[in-house]
């Protein structure tokens, strides 16, 4: 299979852009994980979810970006059948896990803001572990279903995927098999992910939690909005250029924004970073 058409005149600038963004994603998210691990004051439910979110961002950006960078640097846009299936599996799984983790973080903030007296009894270690484990299980299960259904199809129209990675809609567009079941399953699971994970119970609580967590809400709307646009449509309405841009937004945009938003707008993270830098400077001077 071949990813996208030849765009040789843009390969060098695109390689540089993808390299810079991918570097920032890795440094930002891995740095977030390290900061949370080093400071015991950050060993709370919110930062437990945030560290898992950073890990997921690293994995699902890495499922796509390195292969794209290799294509831009060498001109080799060929991907094997098995590698295509693996790329789809990891990207789909960790993108879904990200959605459920964002929902878990919203539930945590809802409990902290709207029911502060019950927060410690609600967000126990067992509850946090269950939410994170459930997110991983849902992501891996849904991705397995998508990959099994997609690669059970016959691809006889072309071997050129009009996309920069192996995503579900462009592969369905290549198939000469009946994709009706695939479309129903894709729409159903995407709708479940979007609407179920956005569910917060009380209307008053929703207003209070969202007014406190506007940055988190912006990430949620970006992630869910893009996913709904790409996956909750029939394959007949697949528009390569438009879909490539939307996919680029949630493939690189969300992993890039998450560490920036949760670091720059978080006094505890900035305080931890300041203490670590100060301690390192003092030890170096001594």
Strands 2-3 and 160-161 turn out to be: parallel
- What pLDDT does 202 receive? 45
Mean pLDDT along residues 177-188: 90
The top-level CATH class assigned to 2-285 is mainly alpha
Q: State the pLDDT confidence band at 214, using cuts at 50, 70 and 90.
A: low
Q: What is the pLDDT of residues 91-106, one digit of tens each?
A: 999 999 988 898 888 8
Mean pLDDT along residues 154-163: 80
> Any residues with CB less than 8 A from the CB of 256 and at least 6 apart, and which?
21, 24, 25, 28
DSSP labels for 126-159?
HHHHHHHHHHHHHHHHHHHHHHHHHTTS---S-S
11 CB-contact burial (10 Å; exposed 0-12 / middle 13-18 / buried 19+): middle
Q: State the pLDDT confidence band at 206, using cuts at 50, 70 and 90.
A: low
- What pLDDT does 211 receive? 46
Q: What is the pLDDT of residues 55-111, one digit of tens each?
A: 999 998 999 999 888 888 887 788 888 999 999 999 999 999 988 898 888 888 888
Q: Domain extents for the chain?
A: 2-285
Q: What is the pLDDT of residues 257-282, one digit of tens each?
A: 888 777 766 677 777 777 776 776 66
Mean pLDDT over all residues of the chain?
81
- What pLDDT does 225 receive? 76
> Any residues with CB less than 8 A from the CB of 263 and at least 6 apart, and which?
28, 32, 269, 270, 273
58-62 contact pairs (CB < 8 A, 24+): 58/25, 58/26, 58/29, 58/30, 58/255, 59/90, 59/94, 60/90, 60/91, 60/93, 60/94, 60/95, 60/97, 60/98, 60/251, 60/255, 61/22, 61/25, 61/26, 61/251, 61/252, 61/255, 62/26
């Amino acid at each position: 299979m071949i990813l996208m058409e030849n765009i040789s005149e843009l390969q060098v600038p695109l390689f540089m852009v993808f390299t810079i963004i991918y570097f920032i994603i890795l440094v930002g998210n891995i740095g977030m994980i390290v900061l949370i691990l080093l400071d015991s004051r950050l060993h709370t439910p919110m930062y437990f979810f945030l560290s898992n979110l950073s890990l997921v961002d690293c994995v699902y950006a890495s499922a796509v970006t390195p292969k794209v960078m290799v294509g831009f640097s060498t001109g080799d846009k060929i991907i094997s059948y098995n590698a295509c299936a693996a790329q789809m599996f990891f990207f789909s799984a960790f993108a879904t896990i990200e959605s459920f983790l964002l929902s878990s973080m919203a539930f945590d903030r809802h409990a902290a803001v709207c029911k502060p007296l019950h927060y410690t009894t609600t967000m126990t270690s067992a509850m946090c572990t269950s939410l994170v484990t459930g997110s991983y299980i849902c992501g891996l299960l849904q991705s397995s279903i998508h990959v099994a259904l997609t690669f059970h199809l016959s691809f006889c129209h072309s071997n050129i995927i009009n996309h920069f990675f192996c995503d579900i809609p462009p592969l369905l567009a290549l198939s000469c098999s009946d994709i009706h079941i695939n479309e129903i399953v894709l729409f159903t699971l995407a709708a479940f992910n979007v609407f179920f994970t956005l569910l917060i119970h009380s209307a008053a609580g929703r207003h209070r939690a969202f007014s406190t967590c506007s940055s988190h809400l912006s990430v949620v709307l970006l992630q869910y909005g893009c996913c709904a646009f790409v996956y909750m449509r029939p394959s007949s309405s697949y528009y390569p250029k438009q879909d490539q841009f939307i996919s680029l937004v949630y493939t690189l945009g969300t992993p890039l924004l998450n560490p920036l938003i949760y670091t720059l707008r978080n006094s505890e993270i900035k305080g931890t970073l300041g203490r670590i830098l100060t301690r390192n400077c003092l030890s170096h001077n001594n």
